Structure 1
């Protein structure tokens, strides 16, 4: 009886976020460079301008936390661990440098701009790994609030759009070959849709290679979130026995397990594809919920600082990727 009561408390809020997520999903399909998650968070923020009854709050909170974690697990079903070996050691070598550049820039510039620590971490992770998915995976680990997520998603979105136009132009100016440009796009552009758009606009071969590199880069979610969990657990206790179990990102283990299942072929590919698409829809649901809990005036109050941080992180990753490639003589 208690479980039924709890479920009934969640249903109104879940219903409203799904009602926002469905049109956002279709809008994202028509305009993939923007994507469903961005539409979801924007529509949510617009609707949040109107006061709503308290009956919706439990379901909205559930969607922004639990459905968000479930989405990351389901996204694992599109990951193939063999891709890590396919792209070779060179891309992994470059990723180490680009991740370091993103996190160092986020820490130093975020500190200089006096941004909240969680906002800096999320923008750094989003720039370093895979945009919105990485932000979604990291937010529960560091206990980021909805405003932090909204700032970060909005910032990453701006540079996703810019990259689609700037990267191919710069690639031609620099005279990059297909492999070099694919490596650059795959390691330095945030979101998968933008990587695909930039890569294939350069050449078919560059697009194929960029996509493989990008999917390999997405797997960096696992070590990064686990490392953050350890750091935060140590900060939260002054004793040697820190409570890692309380904040350990168990859903990341689910993501890894789903990746292994997809790689081994234990589940038919069509089922894995369905589950990964479900995960992407769940992210739209979660972003709609976060939008509903974020007021536009809070975004404007934070000013241009998150965008400046995103710009510095983005430039650092792009330039470091180019520098390491040049050293390795890839292009």
Structure 2
């Protein structure tokens, strides 16, 4: 989700030298992976209808994980699978904006701002304190804290260059976040039902406590449709907190060169699909999207979410977790539990 725009000169040059057959070649390369993802999506949708406690999106992710470990995904499928895992998920988030008005977004996210701010502080503080007690490097604990408190892998990708983290520290942080993303996907929906949470309460809980956008959407829609929408809105609001946090880290760290300062552009810290969601919500709020069109686009978004999570499962290998030491696992556990409990306590206290 950490996207960097190419310089205008480079983009122009590549456009000028691009041959007409390149687009067709890219489509042909992507087709096998897209087809494989479509088949897995259909199976997940069919199975998910009989597993209401899990849902199609979470089922797709788990099926993808199983397939990737039972059989090795051929190289021919990788371009299409990569497209589905990123492009379809971002497109789905933008399309979901047509199902809510900007006023609804403000109401949904406004009540969660206090929870987001509190869990951010608790997540960062608990991670740094526990990391220090365990003797872990400060840069690693900071990365895990940011990934836990804000938006998972994309937050780590944005903060790692600012902190000048090593590749090993970044890899450990990403593995830690991935581990607890997967655990959250399995634990949150049944726990929400067990606690008798409403759709709004569960969506707020998932949106403020689960790390990556993909897992937030999977858990939210596994609970129910309304919880999925609430979780999406809250999660995208939470992502916006990446801007002040990374800028603050840069000020504390001190940017040594002009190049480092140039690379720290606020517009690049917020993924484009977040702005796309806000734009679609604003357009819908003006009454420019007819109800039938909005309903159809939201159904398409639901299919894209299942497809994206199925593709993410196909791309994921649990082998990376072998490198995750007990100290890093303990750090991630403390951070995840602290954020989850703090968020749930606020939701209960606010009476959502």
TM-score for both structures, normalised by structure 1: 0.69
Q: Equivalent residue for 1:220?
A: 237
How big is the shift at 1:307? 4.6
Which sits farther off after the overlay, 64-73 or 262-271?
A: 64-73
CA contact (8 A) 1:37 1:288 kept: yes
Per-residue CA shift, 1:140-161, capped at 9, x if unaligned? 8679988677434312213313
Q: Secondary structure in 2 aligned to 1:241?
A: helix
Q: Equivalent residue for 1:204?
A: none
CA contact (8 A) 2:185 2:219 kept: no
Counterparts of 1:212 and 1:20 in 2: how far apart (Å)? Answer: 24
Q: Equivalent residue for 1:267?
A: 289
Are 2:289 and 1:297 aligned? Answer: no
CA contact (8 A) 1:123 1:135 kept: yes
Unmatched tracts of structure 2, length 5 or more: 1-20, 161-169, 208-215
Q: Secondary structure in 1 aligned to 2:262?
A: coil
Aligned partner of 1:53 among 74, 84, 104 = 74
TM-score for both structures, normalised by structure 2: 0.65
How big is the shift at 1:72? 2.1
Q: 1:56 to 1:149 in 2, by over 3 A?
A: farther
Are 2:189 and 1:161 aligned? Answer: yes
* Structural RMSD (CA): 4.3
CA contact (8 A) 2:127 2:141 kept: no
Q: Secondary structure in 2 aligned to 1:30?
A: coil
CA contact (8 A) 1:147 1:294 kept: no
Which sits farther off after the overlay, 185-194 or 272-281?
A: 185-194
Counterparts of 1:69 and 1:233 in 2: how far apart (Å)? Answer: 27
How big is the shift at 1:311? 2.1
Counterparts of 1:59 and 1:197 in 2: how far apart (Å)? Answer: 25
Q: 1:33 to 1:60 in 2, by over 3 A?
A: same
Q: 1:193 to 1:289 in 2, by over 3 A?
A: closer
CA contact (8 A) 1:24 1:39 kept: yes
Unmatched tracts of structure 1, length 5 or more: 126-133, 172-180, 201-207
